[in-house]
Structure 1
């Protein structure tokens, strides 16, 4: 199932994305996940809704996995990114002019479905609602004076997320990954090149802090990052997920 959130005249509505692209309201997907089932179509309204896509979840915690790419065969490392940087598909992000170069990173984002107490590498899939795409925008030049990543990762809107959560995607899938700017590929790779597996990363994070429904873990960039410039439209491709972010 593809689960999204749509901005309607009555507020934000959780929907499933039908095969024809229409948005069908559904019940709380996290409550359904806790019950071991998929969300059912909402009783009211019974008709599809229209509107722009919001971020597919509203995380309380956003975790990044550090140095999870070729050439970084170090133990799992993690860091926190403010959930206030999360924005939805198609929202224009203004790149900071005072922070040097901006880099976009195409990453697999795992959306947690329930309290992660008891999560291990072996059973991690039992705690995951699904997978979405994330554009982990960064200002890496700030790392010279900011080794903890606060400044380099805190730009307004620097975590575009979406367009929806795909509950059918496996944690173990070698998903194709690409980063495009104005339609031109700047990086192409796959999730299979992550030296630390999503399962291992989730087990590490859950071993230190409890995550909950809607929280997000970004799995790192296995050669899936490139500099981007104001005015370009950045597209993140994770399998069949395509997340578009205009910049200014």
Structure 2
């Protein structure tokens, strides 16, 4: 199932994509916790498609790429930086070069009490695409990633949650302005996604709608104002213009 969030005149609704049709569904997290597929809930709707979830907690995984001898570590990014597919992002002019980092984002489906590496898939609603925009030069002053990751709109997310992609073999691509894409995937992560989730939840609980960005293996590219960044994850395309 491909799950989206839609802003309608009656408020924000969850829906599944049925071709071009937006079919409203019940709360997908309630259904997930009950062990079933979300039921349809009314007639087709129209409205603006938002980021596919609204996380209370947004976590990044550092050092999960080639050339890192250190173990992975988690860090927090403000959920207020999340924007939808297609939303233009104004790059910061006061933080040096901006870098696009295409990543696989895991959307948690239920409270993670009891999650282990072996059972991690049982706690995941699905995956989506994320562009973890960064200003790496700020890392020289701020090793905790606050300044380098804190631009407004610096977390484009979406366009949907794929509930059938799994977490073990997910393809990933990044390209800027139509250049040859950098192709990789979850199998190129030194630490598998399920082990990252077990590590994170050993220290901090997660809940429905929270997001873990799982790391950027190879796919990083500098961007300038006026560029368009494209992240592809499991067949979905997240496209973000800059200004």
Same fold (TM over 0.5): yes
> What is the match of residue 8 of structure 1?
8
Relative to the length of structure 1, the TM-score reads 0.95
- Taking the aligned partners of 1:186 and 1:137, their CA distance within structure 2 comes to 17
- Taking the aligned partners of 2:156 and 2:78, their CA distance within structure 1 comes to 12
- Taking the aligned partners of 1:183 and 1:64, their CA distance within structure 2 comes to 26
> What is the match of residue 27 of structure 1?
26
More displaced 10-residue stretch of structure 1: 211-220 or 65-74: 65-74
Q: Aligned ranges for residues 202-221 of structure 1 at < 5 Å?
A: 202-221=197-216
- Taking the aligned partners of 1:106 and 1:247, their CA distance within structure 2 comes to 15
Let me know the Cα RMSD of the aligned residues: 1.0
Unaligned runs of 5+ in 2: none
Q: Aligned ranges for residues 154-193 of structure 1 at < 5 Å?
A: 154-173=150-169, 175-193=170-188
- Taking the aligned partners of 1:74 and 1:239, their CA distance within structure 2 comes to 28
Contact kept, 8 Å, 2:31 with 2:37, in 1: the verdict is yes
> What is the match of residue 242 of structure 1?
237
In the alignment, structure 1 residue 114 sits paired with structure 2 residue 113: no
- 1:68 is displaced (CA, Å) by 0.6
In the alignment, structure 1 residue 94 sits paired with structure 2 residue 90: yes
Runs of at least 4 residues off by over 6 Å: none
Relative to the length of structure 2, the TM-score reads 0.97
- Taking the aligned partners of 1:244 and 1:219, their CA distance within structure 2 comes to 19
The CA deviation string for residues 216-242 of structure 1, in whole angstroms up to 9 with x for no partner, is 000000001111111111110112011
Instruction: Select which of 83, 86, 92 maps to 2:79.
Output: 83
Contact kept, 8 Å, 1:24 with 1:49, in 2: the verdict is yes
Instruction: Select which of 223, 230, 245 maps to 2:225.
Output: 230
- Taking the aligned partners of 2:218 and 2:49, their CA distance within structure 1 comes to 28
Unaligned runs of 5+ in 1: none
Q: Aligned ranges for residues 48-87 of structure 1 at < 5 Å?
A: 48-87=44-83
Q: Aligned ranges for residues 141-160 of structure 1 at < 5 Å?
A: 141-160=137-156
- 1:186 is displaced (CA, Å) by 4.9
- Taking the aligned partners of 2:58 and 2:192, their CA distance within structure 1 comes to 18
- Taking the aligned partners of 2:47 and 2:68, their CA distance within structure 1 comes to 42
- Taking the aligned partners of 1:120 and 1:90, their CA distance within structure 2 comes to 35
Contact kept, 8 Å, 2:176 with 2:229, in 1: the verdict is yes
Relative to structure 1, is the Cα distance of residues 223 and 32 closer, same or farther in structure 2, using a 3 angstrom cutoff? same
- 1:187 is displaced (CA, Å) by 2.2
**How many corresponding residue pairs?**
243
Contact kept, 8 Å, 2:186 with 2:193, in 1: the verdict is no
**Secondary structure in 1 matching 2:74:** strand
- Taking the aligned partners of 2:198 and 2:181, their CA distance within structure 1 comes to 31
- 1:12 is displaced (CA, Å) by 1.9
- Taking the aligned partners of 2:69 and 2:111, their CA distance within structure 1 comes to 29
